[in-house]
Structure 1
């Protein structure tokens, strides 16, 4: 039985032809006030000529699932005798993009007056959700995609659901099924699959399938990289999605920008082009005077041209340039890349700026 929702954890549904977005505001209050088996239900939405709604159980639908969030799709059309449909529940990130590792897709289900709902008792473990970056400002957002089949001259016309290869590969990495490689990165070990890495990176392909010594070894040591950076690298290789560390960057600030820089170097090391572009774009769009010196040194040392140009443009402001000189990264930039400071002064800073003259004297 649905409990009257008089708290801020109301569900808001917005729909188009095939999907709705379920938004739970006040996640913590819903969890505290709605006990096991209690739910809130979305406003109805229409797909395939039928009305549907989503039921959200913050403490599980029944005994044995109290540590999980349960979610069910319910057929609301009372006059519908039999409706065949598939559905997908997907957690959305802060940008409204699907999180592949938190997605569940059903097989074809038959909804009727006798069996009007289908769903997942164990959609996501609450502890995993609460430790992730996808619960923001005490708000949880879930998308429900529904595909209804129709009978046409005795044959079913089915809309093909979106591909889920990324989910299968993410599960392969998580469960370590048939893993044939182990990487030692600092004090941590990571299991992986030789063929997946070789398919995604030309460098891994040469190392693991070529004549290099790594091709015959099952334990490979990775030097010059932190474990959390390598873990994010594997996440991208298997899922083709933005690693969580980059999703957190806007809220966490400088620490995650440093991580974005490390991941950029890792992507360059293994020639994973799209990840390089993602990391470089992240650093370019989150520029500040605390990080610009570090980013500029990184760009100069590794040949990241877009990042270098963004840094030079940012430093064309006198106030930004002066603030950069007081940052922790300035001494490293001055000692490791003195030529780039001279280039900055020559290209951007007017000769009459006293700060520019002081810098020239220091180099």
Structure 2
């Protein structure tokens, strides 16, 4: 019998980011005074806020004949282990040339070490102004910041453990369907024909079970016609039934994807595929805005989606300006016709909020 042995690992994690600071009208900034600087916009790397400082007339009295550039840690009351590489960009070629590199060290926001480099003589002004780094009164500073985060220690695992890959039964089932192996029922949907396996549909949907294995006419037919559903919606429904996931929708336009999800929620309700119904509600909830909330609320009322209905009501009544914007949309005008009960609830909720 072998003695169980566990092992954990410690790794060093770094995060790197690049910021480009473009400065126009350089000649107008020159002469602003020694130790006076222009600060870039704030950028974040490694969970810390940083900025670039540019001193046209030098950082201090010892650098009056130089331009000075440094990285500044802006995050308050903190320390960061980091390094930086400051470059000037050749305005002719667009390529950066490293002028100063600060090795990995601690930047402390509470003292002078919060800046890098501590050397103020970045480049002699005469050399800089005669170089390709300055063209048409324009210069570009590039800064690459590398932040070393704390050590990351893994959770203990058994040494020589045999790794088990994640379940891929859905992939196998979909491939089985895609190959047309063992199919025993076909569906006609909007002019398209889809093959499937009765037992899989029955396992996933009580409605399909009743239709295909009960006393209904469909149980005796090899070709079942489905009315009032688009082919792409039925295809997505089949994909979820076989794989427990939605098909890839990355290629779809946002409005097209939202419309497909709306129709898929209707299909999920029709065939009692409860998990798919919840997935669709979650997606619609994450895309609620002034333009879409009325259509989403109508769908929630029509298909008994209680939580989604409440979320829509809360969104519309969140402020008077939001409500005014929603009321002005075409979706709200449609809501008044298709789902008047929603307007009653909306009025009641709004009245309670005003009383509060």
TM-score, length-normalised on structure 1?
Answer: 0.51
SS in 1 for 2:195: strand
Kept in 2: contact 1:181–1:219 (CA 8 A): yes
Q: Where does 1:208-287 land on structure 2 (aligned, <5 Å)?
A: 208-245=212-249, 252-287=253-288
Out of 170, 179, 182, the residue aligned to residue 166 of structure 1 is 170
Residue in structure 2 matched with residue 345 of structure 1 by the alignment: 347
Residue in structure 2 matched with residue 326 of structure 1 by the alignment: 328
SS in 2 for 1:348: helix
Q: Where does 1:120-135 land on structure 2 (aligned, <5 Å)?
A: none
1:24-73 per-residue CA deviation (whole Å, 9 max, x = no partner) reads xxxxxxxxxxxxxxxxxxxxxxxxxxxxxxxxxxxxxxxxxxxxxxxxxx
Deviation at 1:328, TM superposition (A): 2.5
Higher-RCO chain (CA-CA 8 Å, sequence separation at least 6):
2
Q: Partners in 1 of 2:346 and 2:255 — Cα distance?
A: 23
Q: Partners in 1 of 2:353 and 2:245 — Cα distance?
A: 45
Query: For residues 197 and 321 of structure 1, do their structure 2 counterparts lie closer, same or farther at Cα, with a shift above 3 Å needed?
Result: same
Residue in structure 1 matched with residue 99 of structure 2 by the alignment: none
Q: Partners in 1 of 2:176 and 2:239 — Cα distance?
A: 11
Larger radius of gyration: 2
1:188 and 2:189 equivalent?
A: no
1:272-312 per-residue CA deviation (whole Å, 9 max, x = no partner) reads 11111110111111101111111111111221111111110
1:93-130 per-residue CA deviation (whole Å, 9 max, x = no partner) reads xxxxxxxxxxxxxxxxxxxxxxxxxxxxxxxxxxxxxx
Q: Partners in 2 of 1:279 and 1:210 — Cα distance?
A: 29
Unaligned stretches of 5+ in structure 1?
Answer: 1-15, 18-149, 152-156, 354-363
SS in 1 for 2:167: coil
Deviation at 1:350, TM superposition (A): 6.9
Q: Where does 1:269-308 land on structure 2 (aligned, <5 Å)?
A: 269-308=270-309
Kept in 2: contact 1:232–1:244 (CA 8 A): no
SS in 2 for 1:329: helix
Q: Partners in 2 of 1:303 and 1:270 — Cα distance?
A: 14
Deviation at 1:336, TM superposition (A): 1.9
Deviation at 1:341, TM superposition (A): 0.9
Deviation at 1:346, TM superposition (A): 1.6
Unaligned stretches of 5+ in structure 2?
Answer: 1-7, 10-158
SS in 2 for 1:190: strand
Residue in structure 1 matched with residue 211 of structure 2 by the alignment: 207
Kept in 2: contact 1:185–1:221 (CA 8 A): yes
Q: Partners in 2 of 1:266 and 1:248 — Cα distance?
A: 22
Q: Partners in 1 of 2:321 and 2:267 — Cα distance?
A: 32
Q: Partners in 1 of 2:353 and 2:168 — Cα distance?
A: 57
Kept in 2: contact 1:264–1:276 (CA 8 A): yes
Q: Partners in 1 of 2:302 and 2:266 — Cα distance?
A: 10
TM-score, length-normalised on structure 2?
Answer: 0.52
